[in-house]
Amino acid sequence: MNFAPVPMHIPDGFLSVLVAILCWALSIPVVSLALRRVGRDLGERQVPLMGVLAAMIFAGQMLNFAVAGGTSGHLLGAALATILLGPWAAVLVMTCVVSVQALVFQDGGLLALGANLFNMAVVGVAVSYTIYRLIHKIARGAPWGIFSGGFAAAWGSIFIASLAAALQLTLSGVSPANLAIPAMAGVHTLIGLGEGLITLGALSFLHSTRRDLLALEPHGQARGSKTIWIGGLAFTLVLAIASPLASAHPDGLEWVASQQGFLSLACAPIYQIVPDYLLPGISNQSLATIAAGILGAAIVLAAVWFINSSRRKYPAGD
C-alpha cells in the first residue's frame, strides 16, 4: 500500500521549452517585485505569520483529498495566504513552497518550475486577491464578506490556475484546447470546492479565535507572535503526521494526462534528494512520509526567515 502523497505539479516533458521559458519570463519579474514590496511594506506583526503559514501550506499540500471519478486534489493555499498577508507576501510564500517542492522533493520539473510558479504563485494569488477584494468591498466590512469572499477566492484560484495550466499544455502541443481545457476545468471545479471549504474552515477558526489576523495593517506592531509561532508550528506538525493519510488517487493534472494520453511524456528528475515525499533511510513508509513533511516545512520556514532577515536591504524610499 502506498502511503506517500502523489506528485502534484507539472513535470518536465509536459511543456515545450519555449512555453517553459515564457513562463519563467512572466514569473521572475513578479517574484522580484514581490521581494521589493515585502522588503518595503511588510510589518513586523506579519513576519511570524508569514513563516508559519508557509510551513503549514507545505504540509497541507501533502494531504491530497479524494474527489469524484478516482482523482484527488490538494490544498493550494494561495487564497488563505493572500487574505492573511496581502498579495506580495503571498507570492513569496507560494514561491518558497513550490520551489522547495521542486528542488528538494522532485515534485514538478526544474524547467517547468517557472510554469508552476506562474500558475500558483502568480495566477493563484492574483485571482484570490481580485475576487476577495471585490466581495469584501461589496460586503462593506460585514462578516459574510470574509467567508463568502474567502470561499470564492479559493475556488477561483484553483479553477483559473488549472485553465492556465491547460493553456500551457495546449501551446506546448501535447493536448488540443478542446480536450485539455474542458478536462482540466471539469476536475478542478470539484477540487476547487475542497479548497474553498478548507479555506472557509480556516477563516472561520481565525474569526472566532484571532480576528485581528483578518485585519492586518501593513506596518502593524507585533502582537501575539509567540501564540502564532506555537499554534502554527503545532498545526504544521499535525498536518505532517497526517500526511500518510493522503489519497493515493492521481491528482487532477495526472488524471487528465492519463486520460488524454500524454502521461508518458513526463521526464524523470535529473537528480533525487527526497523523491515522492519519502525521506531516504527510513524503511517504514508512513514514518518516511512524516519525516519528509517535517523536513520540508522546516526548509520552507527557513527560506521565509531568510527573506525576512534580508528585507532591510530595501529601504522604504526605494
pLDDT in tens, 272-307: 999 889 999 999 999 999 999 999 999 999 999 888
Number of domains in the chain: 1
Other Cβ atoms less than 10 A from the Cβ of 17: the count is 10
Residue 6 has pLDDT above 80, yes or no: no
Residue 316 has pLDDT above 70, yes or no: no
Is residue 50 within 8 Å of 304, Cβ to Cβ? Answer: yes
Cell numbers 471585490 correspond to what residue? 134
pLDDT, tens digit, 9 for 90 and up, residues 233-253: 888 998 889 888 777 788 888
Q: Which domain holds residue 166?
A: 17-313
At 216 the pLDDT is 46
Distance CA(118)–CA(141), nearest Å, equals: 31
Q: What average pLDDT does range 153-178 have in this prediction? A: 94
| CATH number, residue 50 | 1.10.1760.20
Is 12 within a domain?
no
At 40 the pLDDT is 74
Q: What average pLDDT does range 252-274 have in this prediction? A: 89
At 99 the pLDDT is 96
Q: What average pLDDT does range 211-219 have in this prediction? A: 61
Residue 104 has pLDDT above 70, yes or no: yes
Residue 219 has pLDDT above 80, yes or no: no
Is 173 within a domain?
yes
Is 4 within a domain?
no
At 118 the pLDDT is 97
* 36-45, 150-159, 191-200, 269-278: least confident range: 36-45
Distance CA(269)–CA(28), nearest Å, equals: 22
At 3 the pLDDT is 46
Is 280 within a domain?
yes
Is 228 within a domain?
yes
Q: Find the DSSP H helices in 106-251.
A: 113-117, 124-139, 143-171, 177-209, 225-242
With 0.75 as the threshold, say if the pTM is over it.
yes
Is 10 within a domain?
no
Is 178 within a domain?
yes
According to the per-residue pLDDT averaged within each range, which of 3-12, 204-213, 251-260, 288-297 is highest? 288-297
| Residues counted in the chain | 318
Is 6 within a domain?
no
Distances (CA, A) of 246 to 62, 151, 231, 241, 296: 7, 22, 23, 11, 16
Is residue 230 within 8 Å of 48, Cβ to Cβ? Answer: no
